[in-house]
Structure 1
Amino acid sequence: MPTLDPILHSLGLMAPAGYFIGLHIRYASPLMQFSNYDQDWLDHYTEKAYALRDPTIAWGFSKEGACRWDEMGVPDPFGLFDEAKQFGLEYGLTVSCGPMSSRTISSFARSDRDFLDQEIEKITHLVRRLHDITEPPESLTQAQIEALRLIAAGDRHAAAAAKLNISESALKARLMSARQRLLARTTAEAIQRAKDYRLM
């Protein structure tokens, strides 16, 4: 299973004031998201319901590519960018990629200076890589779906294995292969992703 941690670490180094990455936005919410913005900013953003008014999200749905916040040209009637500066998000960059049906939108911030062209190029490459490796699978095997469904219904491993007429180790192998396919760290996460992706 490809791990996302090295990519997220690299992005964090290039965006010392934080980032937010929403991967494969479908039905208005991302299938996976990562953020390391300061908690005070996240609380303020949530309290003000900025997700509904965020110029970076509007830009991300209207265009693909990368754009510095001060070059965006999108109306900001609620002054989100000015408020972000009060939390150390002085300079920003938004990167958007993927089809409208599965769009990835991400933003990155610095407090010290604007992003350099070569940094924008590298960040864009890493976001596209994240988008590609988290592409939801088209399907799971019937064996994987059955194993996930039984665990989701509350069965323990031994009971689920008995119902499927397989050994407990065979059940665990099915669950592990489902986790790998869904890029999930735990079975609970795999179950949630399979539901989100409408695979079970």
Structure 2
Amino acid sequence: MDMSNTTELTRLFSALRTQSPGGYSAGLHIRFAAPLVSESTYSPQWLGHYTANAYALRDPLIAWGLSCEGSIRWSELELPDPFNILRQAAEFGLKYGVALSCGPVQSRTIVGAARVDREFSDAEIERLLQIVRTLHEIAEPKTELTTAQIQALRCIAGGDRHAAAAAKLGISESALKARLVSARERLMARTTSEAIQKAKEIRLL
């Protein structure tokens, strides 16, 4: 992803933060049960509780987001919540919120946005949905890597260190690093390990 897209993602997440005074949790392009990009501003206490109890596998908001597109207030959700996740969220201050979802089911974006004081208005929900749809579009992963980028990632994935990988490919170590950097940028990965994982997820490795 080029620098302009990275800057735009940062701007959009900032806008999402402004529109979600109680915090948000965003998973962009969920594939094979994991998002390619994720960010959350919910309290560390709630996130810790949520993770410790593996609620992502049981969350009715995620279940709704995987089966529907659009938006719904948490209070309007009619799916079963046998683990009382929404009630527990309210105990952590997340009393009012909206779930937002867009994109094809094989690469779905799901966002939860919260308020602590009142329900979101229709106009606020529409603004949030515009932000989420733009985030989804901007974060669309590149599905192609160059042969050189794939070869570099494959060497590292196979356990080669930079020097050995460069020698195997008949290039300088700096050229190898340049290929890895460009692969990371294209896949929106912060590290080479993350790039390898994402490349595997979209069947490039």
Question: Which of 92, 99, 108 is equivalent to 1:103?
Answer: 108
* 1:11 Cα deviation after fit: 1.0
Code of the residue aligned with 2:169 in structure 1: it is L
After the TM superposition, which of the residue ranges 185-194 and 63-72 deviates more from structure 2?
A: 185-194
The structure-2 alpha-carbon separation of the partners of 1:86 and 1:119, relative to structure 1 and needing over 3 Å to count, comes to: same
1:23 aligns to what?
28
Q: Which runs of 5+ in 1 are unaligned?
A: none
What value does the CA root-mean-square deviation take over the aligned residues? 1.8
Contact 1:136 1:197 in 2 (8 A): no
1:190 aligns with 2:195: yes
User: TM-score, structure 1 length as denominator?
Assistant: 0.90
The structure-2 alpha-carbon separation of the partners of 1:80 and 1:150, relative to structure 1 and needing over 3 Å to count, comes to: same
Code of the residue aligned with 1:56 in structure 2: it is L
Code of the residue aligned with 1:62 in structure 2: it is S
2:71 aligns to what?
66
1:79 aligns to what?
84
Code of the residue aligned with 2:134 in structure 1: it is R
* 1:21 Cα deviation after fit: 1.2
Does the residue aligned with 1:61 lie in a helix, a strand or coil? helix
* 1:86 Cα deviation after fit: 0.8
Question: Which of 164, 173, 176 is equivalent to 2:178?
Answer: 173
1:46 aligns with 2:51: yes
Deviations 1:48-85 (A, max 9, x none): 33223322112112210011111223233332222111
After the TM superposition, which of the residue ranges 19-28 and 142-151 deviates more from structure 2?
A: 19-28
Q: Which runs of 5+ in 2 are unaligned?
A: none
The structure-2 alpha-carbon separation of the partners of 1:135 and 1:161, relative to structure 1 and needing over 3 Å to count, comes to: same
Question: Which of 157, 160, 163 is equivalent to 2:168?
Answer: 163
After the TM superposition, which of the residue ranges 54-63 and 167-176 deviates more from structure 2?
A: 167-176
Deviations 1:108-133 (A, max 9, x none): 11112222223212211121122122
CA separation in 2, counterparts of 1:168 and 1:103? 38
CA separation in 2, counterparts of 1:152 and 1:58? 33
1:34 aligns with 2:35: no
Question: Which of 91, 95, 103 is equivalent to 2:96?
Answer: 91
* Identity over aligned pairs, percent: 60
CA separation in 2, counterparts of 1:59 and 1:47? 22
1:120 aligns with 2:125: yes
* 1:147 Cα deviation after fit: 0.8
CA separation in 2, counterparts of 1:87 and 1:173? 45
User: TM-score, structure 2 length as denominator?
Assistant: 0.88
Question: Which of 115, 137, 152 is equivalent to 2:142?
Answer: 137
After the TM superposition, which of the residue ranges 146-155 and 84-93 deviates more from structure 2?
A: 146-155
1:146 aligns with 2:151: yes
CA separation in 2, counterparts of 1:169 and 1:186? 17
Q: How many residues matched?
A: 200
